[in-house]
């Protein structure tokens, strides 16, 4: 096997339910051992894509390769994948042990081998004491561990996760997230992980694919997605509170909105010849600086605070800038009140500039 | 302090309810009246079946027997005469059991697989197939009697016990399939997907995953079929011949036989005996029945 070939390769995938096109000519290469997160709002086709990779849905057009094999027509069990579902989907009438070994029995793996693999998975996931219990007698977190174990015992190349943590409460979700990351470091399998939670995506992913309407809007590392969003949709989708957008004009060097002029020195343009025209600048709330830092910022101005939202670790300040709303994320200790006039500053090199028409990054 | 100003006496905890509130009287009153209305015929039947003929002729149909006798029950079972023979209902009982068991097993087995396939393995034309099947449930049986007779004749099954089994299986199919399909459709889809990833096939998933989870709906299907097939009269008369008449037909022939005096006590006992099988089934599996009906009916 060629180690540099992609682990999973999706080529021109189309999927229709009746007349509704859910996936549109989608292509995606996933590297060996990569943790890829499919991120997007509900209904954008994430689960559909995952089900296509798993072979649970028949594709309308296109090809899927797993470990250099064309698996487009293969049964789910022949694809070398394991899958973990949001609802755990444990077989209720079987014990945990039965759940773990069901797939292996179907594949006619010898008994001793089954026992060994179940023991290993149980050890990795620390579910040994639960082996004789039925799923009904387990907590949500334990159930999801068993579900992961079911994929683990099959010794597959690719793990598929469909929102595996969404049914858990916040604390458990954070714990299992860390465990999943650890598991990936330990196993080094390829993992494809569907979620609508950007924190999960940012923390777990080697690369994130942001989906919208059955199309991948951007594929990149969490850093790229966060700092250099390819288009306005991605910029808006990632980050909470979301990015501030100010509409104006870009003349090739300076962005102008009302009486605010932002010289774009130090900004990394996506192409050599930056197009002039109507544009939108995007500034993350956490990239707006206040206090002493303002003096060192290339762009400085003042705004009037109209709402303050303390959240504990930091405080969210709402103001107006160049005719639009501006959200500023400040330290939790910041002493601001509605009505205050606040000096602010930001660095154009950290901002994002989008063409107003195509909404693509300039 | 506001706290100390509040009265410490007065209402606290759950509000006491009066046992004889107006609502309770209306609810229980209605229930009792309706129960009486439905139980009265049964009372009359049981009482009559335990009396001798002289006592019946006195005419007090509601009165309990002065002298209890089980002789009518014995006669109904093994001595009552139809137009043809005088060995009571026992012959019909045997026939009914022989008709019921294979019909029940066949129809439930086939319908559950049908429903499972329709719910989980959407194949090309599965919706059309399902629609046709459901339409079948709305066509009156009488329309299909004659074609069915011809089909059975061609198959060489006419007048044969297996012919009747086939008829019951076919006519039970629409409603049973609907029942099973809805039940299976209500099961989590991800469970089915997980089993497919685990390499289980059509039968593997059916036997190992679906069956163990669907006891309630099997009980419902069983009850529907037992009652339907046991109580069937029409198909029994049409598709069999006298030696293998089911219990209901035998009962009719006993009750309606015109020779001699009408033995009301024997007739009542015979009727009760015939109704006993579905009745027992209801009592034994009542709770499962309700659960299964609720599960099958709500989800579509
Ligand atoms: N079996 C189906 N039949 C018809 N439409 C479906 C089916 N499954 C999903 N869809 C539609 O496809 C779109 C994508 O669904 P899905 O992949 O589940 O979204 P996501 O997982 O991103 O929330 C949705 O608009 C949904 O309504
Ligand atoms: Mg989904």
Domain count, chain A: 2
Q: Which ligand is nearest to the CA of A162?
A: 2
Q: At B115, is the pLDDT very low, low, confident or very high (cuts 50, 70, 90)? A: very high
Same domain, A284 and A341: yes
- What pLDDT shows up at residue B78? 86
Q: What is the mean pLDDT of chain A?
A: 93
- For residue A160, the cross-strand partners are A83, A192
Q: Which ligand is nearest to the CA of A49?
A: 1
- What pLDDT shows up at residue B297? 46
Residue A48 Cβ inside 6 Å of ligand 1? The answer reads yes
Q: What are the structural domains, with CATH classification, of chain B?
A: 22-69 (no CATH), 91-247+278-297 (1.10.3720.10)
- Determine, for residues B199 and A103 on separate chains, whether the beta-carbon distance falls below 8 Å: yes
Q: At B134, is the pLDDT very low, low, confident or very high (cuts 50, 70, 90)? A: confident
- The residue of A56, A121, A147 whose CB has the most chain B CBs within 10 angstroms, and thus the best one to mutate to test that interface, is A56
Same domain, A39 and A168: yes
Nearest C-alpha to atom 21 of ligand 1 is from which residue? A47
Residue that finishes a domain, picked among A187, A209, A232:
A232
Q: How many CB pairs under 8 A join A and B?
A: 57
Residue A46 Cβ inside 6 Å of ligand 1? The answer reads yes
User: Has residue A3 got a pLDDT over 60?
Assistant: no
CB-based contact, B186 to chain A, within 8 Å = no
Answer whether residue A293 is part of any domain.
yes
- What pLDDT shows up at residue A157? 92
User: Has residue A1 got a pLDDT over 60?
Assistant: no
Q: Rounded mean pLDDT of A99-121?
A: 95
Same domain, A13 and A85: yes
Q: Give the tens place of pLDDT for each residue, B188-232.
A: 999 999 999 999 999 999 999 999 999 888 988 998 999 999 999
Domain that holds residue A23: 8-232
User: Has residue A311 got a pLDDT over 80?
Assistant: yes
Answer whether residue A360 is part of any domain.
no
- The residue of B190, B203, B204, B210 whose CB has the most chain A CBs within 10 angstroms, and thus the best one to mutate to test that interface, is B190
- What pLDDT shows up at residue B206? 96
Q: Give the tens place of pLDDT for each residue, A218-234.
A: 999 999 999 999 999 99
Residue A26 Cβ inside 6 Å of ligand 1? The answer reads no
Same domain, A140 and A26: yes
Same domain, A242 and A224: no
- What pLDDT shows up at residue B67? 86
> Distance, CA A69 to ligand 1 centroid (Å)?
27
Q: Give the tens place of pLDDT for each residue, A144-171.
A: 999 999 999 998 999 999 999 998 998 9
- What pLDDT shows up at residue B300? 34
Q: Give the tens place of pLDDT for each residue, A25-42.
A: 999 999 999 999 999 999
User: Which of the residue ranges A126-130, A343-347, B131-135, B172-176 would you say has the lowest mean pLDDT?
Assistant: B131-135
Nearest partner of A43 among A219, A212, A208, A238, judged by Cα: A212
Answer whether residue A297 is part of any domain.
yes
Same domain, A262 and A191: no
- What pLDDT shows up at residue B295? 58
CATH code of A346's domain: 2.40.50.140
Residue that finishes a domain, picked among A232, A248, A266:
A232
- What pLDDT shows up at residue B3? 57
Maximum distance among all Cα pairs of chain B, rounded to whole angstroms: 96
Q: Rounded mean pLDDT of A192-216?
A: 95
Q: At B7, is the pLDDT very low, low, confident or very high (cuts 50, 70, 90)? A: confident
CATH code of A226's domain: 3.40.50.300
User: Has residue B275 got a pLDDT over 80?
Assistant: yes
Same domain, A257 and A112: no
Q: At A111, is the pLDDT very low, low, confident or very high (cuts 50, 70, 90)? A: very high
Residues of A with a Cβ under 8 Å from any B Cβ are 51, 54-56, 75-77, 81-83, 85-87, 89-93, 102-103, 106-107, 150, 154
Answer whether residue A248 is part of any domain.
yes
Residue that finishes a domain, picked among A180, A213, A232:
A232
The total number of residues shown for chain B amounts to: 300
Residue with tokens 């399902």, as numbered in its chain? B130
Q: At A2, is the pLDDT very low, low, confident or very high (cuts 50, 70, 90)? A: low
Answer whether residue A1 is part of any domain.
no
Nearest partner of A96 among A161, A167, A149, A159, judged by Cα: A149
Share of chain A above pLDDT 70, in %: 98
- What pLDDT shows up at residue B4? 63
Residue with tokens 């299907």, as numbered in its chain? B221
- What pLDDT shows up at residue B127? 87
Burial A92-124, CB ≥16 within 10 A → b, else e? ebbbbbbbbbbbbbbeebeeeebeebbeebbeb
Same domain, A87 and A212: yes
Same domain, A246 and A178: no
- What pLDDT shows up at residue B298? 42
Same domain, A341 and A279: yes
- What pLDDT shows up at residue B294? 63
Q: Which ligand is nearest to the CA of A211?
A: 1
> Distance, CA A160 to ligand 2 centroid (Å)?
12
Burial A312-348, CB ≥16 within 10 A → b, else e? eebbebbbebbeeebbbbbeeebebeeeeebebbbbb
Nearest C-alpha to atom 25 of ligand 1 is from which residue? A43
Same domain, A256 and A337: yes
**When comparing pLDDT for A3 and A337, which is higher?**
A337
Answer whether residue A36 is part of any domain.
yes
Answer whether residue A3 is part of any domain.
no
Answer whether residue A361 is part of any domain.
no
Structure-block tokens of residue A286 = 């956490």
User: Has residue B299 got a pLDDT over 50?
Assistant: no
Same domain, A267 and A144: no
User: Has residue B242 got a pLDDT over 70?
Assistant: yes
């Amino acid at each position: 096997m060629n180690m540099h070939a992609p682990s999973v390769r999706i080529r021109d995938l189309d999927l229709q339910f009746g007349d509704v096109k859910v996936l549109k000519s989608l292509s995606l290469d996933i590297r060996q051992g990569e943790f890829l997160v499919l991120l997007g709002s509900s209904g954008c086709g994430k689960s559909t894509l995952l089900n296509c990779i798993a072979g649970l849905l028949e594709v309308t057009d296109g090809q899927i390769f797993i470990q250099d094999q064309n698996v487009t027509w293969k049964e789910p069990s022949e694809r070398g994948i394991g899958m973990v579902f949001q609802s755990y989907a444990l077989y209720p009438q079987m014990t945990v042990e039965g759940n773990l070994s069901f797939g292996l029995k179907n594949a006619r793996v010898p008994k001793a081998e089954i026992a060994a693999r179940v023991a290993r998975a149980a050890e990795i996931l620390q579910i040994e004491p639960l082996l004789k219990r039925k799923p009904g007698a387990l907590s949500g977190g334990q159930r999801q561990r068993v579900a992961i174990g079911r994929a683990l015992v099959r010794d597959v190349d690719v793990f598929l996760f469909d929102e595996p943590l969404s049914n858990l409460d916040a604390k458990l979700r954070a714990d299992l997230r860390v465990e999943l990351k650890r598991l990936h470091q330990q196993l080094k399998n390829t993992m494809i992980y569907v979620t609508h939670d950007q924190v999960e995506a940012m923390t777990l992913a080697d690369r994130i694919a942001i989906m919208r309407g059955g199309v991948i809007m951007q594929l990149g590392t969490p850093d790229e997605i966060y700092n250099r969003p390819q288009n306005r949709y991605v910029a808006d989708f990632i980050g909470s509170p979301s990015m501030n957008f100010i509409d104006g004009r870009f003349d090739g060097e300076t962005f102008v909105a009302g009486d605010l002029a932002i010289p774009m020195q130090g900004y990394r343009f996506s192409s050599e010849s930056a197009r002039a025209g109507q544009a939108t600048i995007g500034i993350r709330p956490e990239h707006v600086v206040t206090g002493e830092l303002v003096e060192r910022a290339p762009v400085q101005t003042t705004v009037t605070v109209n709402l303050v939202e303390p959240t504990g670790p930091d405080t969210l300040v709402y103001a107006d800038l160049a005719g639009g709303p501006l959200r500023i994320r400040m330290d939790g200790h910041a002493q601001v009140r509605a009505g205050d006039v606040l000096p602010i500053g930001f660095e154009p090199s950290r901002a994002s500039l989008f063409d107003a028409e195509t909404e693509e990054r300039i | 302090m506001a706290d100390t100003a509040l009265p410490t006496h007065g209402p606290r905890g759950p509000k006491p309810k009066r046992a004889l509130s107006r609502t309770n009287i209306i609810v229980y009153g209605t229930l009792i009246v309706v129960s009486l209305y439905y139980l009265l015929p049964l009372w009359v039947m049981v009482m009559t079946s335990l009396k001798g003929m002289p006592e019946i002729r006195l005419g007090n149909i509601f009165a309990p027997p002065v002298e209890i006798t089980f002789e009518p029950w014995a006669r109904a079972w093994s001595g009552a005469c139809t137009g043809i023979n005088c060995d009571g209902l026992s012959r019909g009982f045997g026939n009914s059991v022989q008709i019921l068991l294979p019909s029940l097993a066949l129809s439930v087995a086939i319908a559950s697989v049908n429903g499972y396939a329709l719910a989980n393995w959407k194949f090309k034309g599965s919706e059309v197939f399902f629609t046709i099947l459901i339409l079948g449930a709305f066509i009156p049986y009488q329309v299909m009697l004659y074609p069915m007779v011809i089909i059975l004749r061609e198959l060489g099954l006419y007048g044969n016990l297996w012919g009747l089994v086939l008829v019951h299986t076919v006519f039970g199919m629409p409603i049973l399939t609907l029942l099973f399909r809805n039940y299976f459709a209500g099961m989590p889809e991800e469970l089915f997907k997980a089993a497919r990833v685990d390499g289980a096939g059509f039968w593997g998933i059916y036997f190992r995953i679906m069956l163990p989870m669907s006891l309630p709906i099997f009980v419902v299907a069983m009850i529907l079929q037992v009652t339907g097939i046991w109580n069937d009269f029409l198909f029994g008369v049409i598709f069999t011949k006298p030696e293998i008449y089911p219990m209901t037909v035998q009962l009719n022939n006993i009750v309606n036989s015109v020779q001699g005096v009408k033995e009301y006590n024997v007739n009542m006992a015979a009727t009760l005996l015939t109704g006993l099988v579905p009745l027992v089934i209801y009592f034994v599996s009542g709770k499962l029945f309700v659960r299964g009906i609720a599960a099958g009916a709500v989800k579509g």
